[in-house]
Amino acid sequence: MLFVLVIAVIFVAISVYFFFRAEKLQRKLISQQRESLHTRKENKVLVESTTLVATRGQEFAKARLKRIMDMAKAEGNDTLMLHCELISPLINNYSIIFKECLKGKGRLKAISQKCFENKDSAAYKKFVALIVTGDKKLKRYWGSDNLNGFLFLVDALLNTDNFITELNQQEKHLSLS
């Protein structure tokens, strides 16, 4: 009888221990669920913000490209028009490239190639030739193959003052040769 009583007391003690342990784990689980829900809400807000930034960046870049194209048409500058046509797939797919670059380093060139090849199979090669023969900064931005490089590259490509200065220097260099 004493043996059965000892086993019953041990069983009750273990049951009480596991009851309190289960309560503690349940409180932790509820806490983790709240934290997970909060993290998902934050993530959703960040994704929406990033999408908004990408969309606005694309709108600004497109507007800037349109102003440059209008200026080139008004001045009859064929070289600037060609430059605008070469970079237009990059600008028109700005938000797609932006989002892809967010996923990690090494994605800029691959997604850019896809975007350019949607327009024309040779467009990507012409664009890369523009980068390679262009300013050292353009090469460095393109070579970084990440989001930061993409943002600087778009800004540099749309900076008409630098481009016009570079064109004038190339024309002077060609006329001296």
What are 17-73's pLDDT values in tens digits?
999 999 999 999 999 999 999 999 999 999 889 888 888 988 999 999 898 888 888
**What distance in Å separates the CA atoms of residue 36 and residue 25, rounded to the nearest whole number?**
16
Phi, psi (deg, nearest 5) at residue 169: -65, -40
What are the CA-CA distances from residue 113 to residues 60, 79, 104, 142 (Å)?
Answer: 22, 23, 17, 12
**What distance in Å separates the CA atoms of residue 31 and residue 37, rounded to the nearest whole number?**
10
- Per-residue pLDDT of 112-150, as tens digits, reads 888 888 877 788 888 888 888 877 888 888 888 888 888
pTM: 0.70
Which pLDDT band holds residue 172 (cuts at 50, 70, 90)?
Answer: low
